[in-house]
Amino acid sequence: MQRTLPAMGIGYVHIRELGGYRGGYGNYTRTQEFKQGLKELMKLAREKSSAIMCVESYPSACHRRFIAKELKKRKWKAVHIVGKGKQQTL
């Protein structure tokens, strides 16, 4: 993706602090590391349309649900694309 997306005019940024589902991710959202990653994501999203991607199709089984929950607390809206033309909010 790091090579393919820019070739199509799409920017790619990996925010390590938000990536990868792990046991205890709910607790992880309280760490300074997570908060810094979320801050970086919000900064990017203020500047450009942004998407969070993961190999897991459904946000209910993915770390994206925790990110969306934290964004919602900060008055942001997260829309999950779960298939062609299908959206879901948690």
pLDDT at 21: 66
CA separation for the pair 24, 79 (Å, rounded): 23
Give me the mean pLDDT over the 75-82 stretch.
88
As a whole number, mean pLDDT of residues 30-55 equals 93
Look at the pTM and tell me if it is higher than 0.85. no
Banded model confidence at residue 39, pLDDT cuts 50, 70, 90: very high
The three-state secondary structure class of 87 is strand
Q: How far apart are CA 21 and CA 7, in angstroms?
A: 28
pLDDT beyond 70 at 90: no
**Lowest pLDDT segment from 22-26, 28-32, 62-66, 75-79:** 22-26
